Amino acid sequence: MKRREFITLFGGAAAWPLAARAQLSAPARPARPLPTVGILNYASALDIRVVQFIDALRELGYIEGRNVTFAQRHAEGVLDRLPALAADLVVSRVDVMIALGPATFAAKQATSTIPIITAFSGDPVGQGVAASFDRPGGNITGFSYMSSELAGKRLELLCSAFPRCNRIAILYNPQEPATIPEMEQTEASARKLGVALHPLAVRHAKGLEEAFAAAARERAEGLLSFTHGFAVINQARIIELAARERVPTMYGWREFSDAGGLMSYGPDIHVLVRQAAGYVDRILKGAKPGDLPIQQPSRLQLIVNLRTAKALGLNIQPTLLARVDEVIE
């Protein structure tokens, strides 16, 4: 081996430990924190909507612990807990907050800076949550399930099930933020139809039994259940009592008809939740919530459960059946 080659080889070998020591001693770059998505929910951690939302984000490539973290707060059906839970998410400095149903109002009151996506809200513009549908402005946007706009139509469809419709009971929780505008629209529709309404205010699950007993005593031809958080949490009990007291009942979402409720008219909430995940994706990539329009459902479904109708001894009018999107037999 030539002398020059030997010196070059030896000098390079001697430098290896030095380079290795330099790499070991260099300070490591701090890990970039993962974005945090806050979930504010009126129901429990087992709520199907939470599962659907996380699944939708996973399909968009967000895996918890890999490129996103979740901070979940659940009110377990107690609406009064929502403001404190929303404030806790703000203190946790989440990057974006997803609000489910009535949680929207607590989220808006808690922060004017953190982006908020409402997965489904009754009437966000009419109730002052956002400035407009096209340009909501501020830090909140999302999706409406049109509870107020569809209230009158639900009453009309329920009455269409009977040869005569004189008296309809209304089951609602007065603590729900969307109750007032929905009741106003229902009352306006009742005046046009010449129908007397019998409001049944229920704040706790223990009051449901008496409410349905009252509807039966008043000989209401049917009952309209405002499908807000309270009804969702108590879905099984409401359907059970409607069957026991033989009260034909209209609901806002198809899950109630799937579970044995007589009728439902409204959007597919699962679709809205998936779309909300898409908005979260856009915000994490830099979009501003005020620039994203509040969207309303593009499709509404009228579902009739004929098994339940048969159990109630009810013959659904052919004119209504002609309008049904899906029949459960």
pLDDT of residue 89: 98
* The domain defined by 36-146+268-291 carries CATH number 3.40.50.2300: yes
Q: Could you tell me which residues are beta bridge partners of residue 41?
A: 74, 100
Lowest mean pLDDT among 1-15, 150-164, 309-323: 1-15
R_g (Cα) of the chain, nearest Å: 27
C-beta atoms surrounding 177 within 10 Å: 19
CATH 3.40.50.2300 region(s) of the chain?
36-146+268-291, 151-266+300-328
Q: Closest Cα partner for 103 from 68, 131, 76?
A: 76
- pLDDT confidence of residue 91: 97
Whether the predicted pLDDT of 137 surpasses 90: no
Query: Average pLDDT of 198-209?
Result: 96
Write out the DSSP string of 26-95.
Answer: SPPPPPPPPPEEEEEESS-TT-HHHHHHHHHHHHTT--BTTTBEEEEEE-TT-GGGHHHHHHHHHHTT-S
Mean pLDDT to the nearest integer, 120-135: 80
State the average pLDDT for the chain: 89
Nearest to 35 by CA among 79, 70, 82, 80: 70
Average pLDDT in the 166-173 region?
96
Q: What integer pLDDT is reported at residue 220 of this predicted model?
A: 95
The pTM score is: 0.85
pLDDT exceeds 70 at position 211: yes
Q: 3.40.50.2300, 3.30.750.210, 1.10.340.30, 3.30.160.60: which CATH number matches 151-266+300-328? A: 3.40.50.2300
Give dist(CA 108, CA 292) in Å, integer: 16
Q: Tens of pLDDT along 283-306?
A: 999 999 999 999 999 899 999 999
Please, which pLDDT band fits residue 9 given cuts at 50, 70 and 90? very low
